[in-house]
């Protein structure tokens, strides 16, 4: 029997909502200056590499066995790290980890989303959030951020009260804008989520879960709080982090979450067996042993970010308008606005500088790279945009 096809391509029973959808991902191009995906530009030091190599070697001797599926060693190390970085005491049972914070978010939506349930966020924000919702058959609703990309607590309360979501996703610092949320705003959202009534079997009802995505948390400016400080007050709150940015481990794919033990246990129900390999666990623990050295690099990147913000704000468009720059507590800067941002992006690419065409119309985002990379970016931007 000849399989059915269209234009020579076999037909497959793809879910209708996935028809014509392109896989997510920023351009991966071989150019001299890569400033488009918010990577840490500094490779791990020889000391870090040596520690990782020894740890992977030790793990490799037992690769005939499945890894520790609950990885309490790694979770204990993550709890100790957050105790130092954010000053919040947590137990190992309050931590969860997965293959990047992307998988963490998917676990959250698998556990608390699903058919008949809704996830809420506030745009502009991370473009993967609606994909997590789509992949778990969770309805997706977005409120709006203000023109300066802050979030009005009253607007957030209104959206949550109206939509009665089971999950609220907040990014702080926000991607792609870099905007951090004040503690009072997170508290307002958590309080609004407590008033939600998500139907459960047996006639019971539960509040919504609030997830604060702190993928760029280590880059926040002095005095900017972490939502980790609110965990003790709100059992419906979870805070996610990643080792991709501050720890320069984007290639290792390690993300993690801090929450109440009950919330973490719910994620353990939906995780795939042995989802975190022995090698991944070894790499993460080895890097955490060097957290002091790696966070020193973060301090330098913060300074370079602030210098980039100040430089961009000193510029004028050819028509005399000042360059707009969003406040940033992350390792990137959103700037604009350009009548034809794609033309600016393409012209930068022609000069070997790759940044990101993302966010609201007219805006561009540049990751913070090395000193040489940022000098190349500045020179190219002045040339192509006439600034």
Q: Residue 122 pLDDT more than 80? A: yes
Q: Hey, what are 175's tokens?
A: 């991607």
pLDDT value at position 24?
A: 82
Band of residue 11 on the pLDDT scale cut at 50, 70, 90: confident
How confident is the model over 68-120, as pLDDT tens digits? 999 999 999 999 999 999 999 999 999 999 999 999 999 999 999 999 999 99
Q: Which ranges constitute the DSSP H helices of 222-362?
A: 261-270, 278-288, 291-313, 341-350
Average pLDDT over residues 235-255: 96
Percent of the chain with pLDDT over 90: 90
Q: Is 3 exposed, middle or buried (0-12, 13-18, 19+ CB in 10 A)?
A: exposed
Q: All domains of the chain, ordered by start, with CATH? A: 26-44+296-385 (3.90.1150.10), 46-290 (3.40.640.10)
Band of residue 13 on the pLDDT scale cut at 50, 70, 90: confident
Q: Which ranges constitute the DSSP H helices of 27-176?
A: 46-60, 72-85, 100-112, 129-135, 153-163
* Separation of alpha carbons 59 and 303, rounded Å: 37
Average pLDDT over residues 292-306: 93
Residue that has been written with the tokens 């539960």 in this structure: 206
């Amino acid at each position: 029997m000849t399989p059915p096809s269209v234009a020579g391509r076999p037909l497959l029973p793809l879910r209708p909502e996935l028809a014509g959808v392109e896989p997510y991902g920023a351009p991966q191009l071989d150019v001299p200056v890569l400033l488009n995906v918010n990577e840490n530009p500094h490779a791990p030091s020889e000391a870090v590499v040596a520690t990782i190599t020894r740890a992977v070697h030790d793990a490799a001797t037992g690769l005939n066995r499945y890894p520790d599926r609950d990885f309490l060693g790694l979770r204990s190390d993550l709890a100790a790290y957050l105790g130092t970085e954010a000053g919040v005491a947590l137990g190992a049972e309050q931590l969860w980890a997965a293959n990047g914070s992307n998988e963490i978010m998917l676990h959250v939506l698998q556990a608390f989303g699903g058919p008949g349930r809704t996830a809420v966020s506030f745009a502009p924000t991370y473009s993967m959030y609606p994909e997590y919702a789509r992949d778990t058959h969770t309805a997706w609703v977005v409120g709006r951020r203000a023109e300066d990309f802050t979030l009005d607590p009253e607007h957030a309360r209104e959206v949550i009260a109206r939509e009665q979501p089971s999950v609220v996703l907040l990014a702080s610092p926000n991607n792609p804008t870099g905007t951090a949320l004040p503690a009072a705003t997170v508290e307002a959202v958590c309080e609004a989520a407590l008033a939600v009534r998500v139907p459960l079997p047996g006639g019971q009802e539960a509040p919504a879960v609030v997830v604060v995505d702190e993928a760029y948390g280590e880059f926040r400016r002095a005095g900017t709080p972490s939502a980790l400080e609110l965990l003790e007050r709100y059992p419906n709150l979870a805070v996610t982090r990643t080792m991709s940015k501050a720890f320069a481990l984007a290639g290792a794919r390690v993300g993690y979450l801090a929450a109440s033990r009950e919330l973490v246990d719910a994620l353990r129900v939906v995780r795939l067996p042995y989802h975190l390999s022995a090698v991944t666990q070894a790499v993460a623990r080895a890097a955490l042993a060097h957290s002091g050295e790696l966070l020193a690099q973060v301090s330098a990147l913060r300074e370079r970010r602030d210098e980039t913000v100040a430089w961009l704000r000193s510029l004028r468009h050819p028509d005399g308008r000042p360059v707009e720059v969003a406040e940033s507590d992350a390792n990137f800067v959103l700037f604009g606005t350009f009548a034809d941002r794609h033309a600016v992006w393409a012209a930068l690419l022609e000069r070997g500088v790759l940044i990101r065409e993302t966010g609201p119309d007219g805006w561009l985002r540049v990751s913070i790279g090395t000193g040489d990379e940022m000098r190349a970016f500045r020179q190219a931007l002045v040339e192509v945009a006439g600034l």
